[in-house]
Structure 1
Amino acid sequence: MASQAGGGNKGTAKDLEETENLLKDFIYQRSQRNGDGNTTVTREQLGGGAPCDPIHKKLGKCLQKVGDELDGNVKYKSLINDPSLKPTKETFIRVATAVFSDGKFNWGRVVTLFCFAYHLVIKALENRVPDIIKTIIRWTMDYFQEHVIQWIRAQGGWEAVWSYFGTPTWQVVGVLLAGILTGFLVVRQSKAQ
């Protein structure tokens, strides 16, 4: 279901809805696969149901594969496992801003934000503040609406992610690492201040 270029706010609203559904499913699927009883999020906590559209299910699987590669990165693991990392809006905005600090957008960076939102949700569960989960989703969606959704539309919508991640794995990892390292440095710098 690629969105057409143009289409005004109606297209943007549809793209935002699709993004939010993919984000919620991404977080849910990762927590089901990677979580233990204390760090498994429910669809209710995320504020949404399971995707019905077969295209969304395929997209979700593609995004999960990219997330798996990202989770295997040592520097990213160090960032997300840092005990001082807190699920705050300030942390999310710093990392999101850093990921796109050079003004360049690509699917690897977009998925990096999905992964980071997932890890903030897990931190919220670990810190026993599950009420903030929907707020983390909102921060992510606000950032997408203000900074990323027009780029997604310009690519032809979410279906374009398939062609991007059809590139060799080492190229995908390189793109992801650039986003990770930027986020890692920002979090480290904010702790030093």
Structure 2
Amino acid sequence: MACEASQDYQIGEALLIGVVRQELMEVMEVTEGNAAPPALPEAKPISNSQDQILVQQLANTIKVIGDKLDQDQAFNDMIDGLVKVADKSSFWKLVEKVFTDGQINWGRIIVLFYSVGKLSAKMVVARLPRIVSDILSLSLDYFKRNLLQWILTVGGWMNSIPALACFSVDQFSGSSMRKYSPYVGVVFAFTGGLLLGGFIVSRFQKT
């Protein structure tokens, strides 16, 4: 179990840091280097090739979902409002919005990861790069303390693929994130088949 926990934590760590780094890179391109990004920690290298593929698949999924969420004004207003808090408590306010009823599922974890990346990028644009390190540190700690055990209970990150392939917007019922569910639902309907296909190929290669 300890080995599995370490493996699934590494995947989550690599995914979360990767999402934040990607969002910061994009904002640097838009601002033409006028925003100073903070130094980010390096995720522990993942040696297992199948886990590397899984991280890339999930990163691609988050990117597609994020592109759709970016089109929603309510989502952007929420992130902008959190930037105005201008300290690390903005992370806890974000968690409250995503997990308002305390329920955990793969969709909410994916949305949280993207939102952390988006919030970090907005903090840099607002010239508050020092807060990004705090937010990322809190995010990794929250993942380890509050989400990792759930992930282990449902079989690890590998099982996120078939779950996300049939993700339903109803899983956001009762959440303040429900207003974004039409975008999330459409995206999962589009990417779910691709993810599941990759999952099947991955499992086939292991046998």
TM-score (norm 1): 0.72
Distance in 1 between residues matched to 2:136 and 2:24, nearest whole Å: 15
1:80 Cα offset (Å): 1.6
**Match of 1:13, as an amino acid?**
S
More helix per residue: 2
Structure 1 SS opposite 2:175: helix
Counterpart pick for 1:180 among 177, 180, 192: 177
Write the letter of the residue equivalent to 2:146: H
Percentage identity across aligned positions? 24
Work out the CA distance in 1 between the residues paired with 2:64 and 2:57: 11
Aligned to 1:137: 136
More displaced 10-residue stretch of structure 1: 142-151 or 158-167: 158-167
- Equivalent pairs counted in the alignment come to 173
- Which one is further off, 124-133 or 146-155? 124-133
1-side partners of 2:169 and 2:36: how far apart? 28
Q: Tell me the equivalent position of 1:73.
A: 72
Unmatched runs of 5 consecutive residues or more in structure 2: 47-51, 180-207
Map 1:44-193 → 2, pairs under 5 A: 45-48=39-42, 53-82=52-81, 85-167=84-166, 171-172=168-169, 175=172, 178-180=175-177
Tell me: higher relative CO, structure 1 or 2? Use CA pairs within 8 A at least 6 residues apart.
1
Structure 1, unaligned runs of 5 or more: 1-6, 183-193
Q: 1-side partners of 2:129 and 2:80: how far apart?
A: 18
Matched, 1:11 2:4: yes
> CA offset at residue 39 of structure 1?
7.8
CA-CA distance at 1:174 after TM superposition: 7.0
Kept after mapping to 1: 8 A contact 2:82/2:119: no
C-alpha distance in 1 between matches for 2:113 and 2:61: 13
Greater C-alpha Rg: 2
| CA RMSD after TM alignment | 3.3
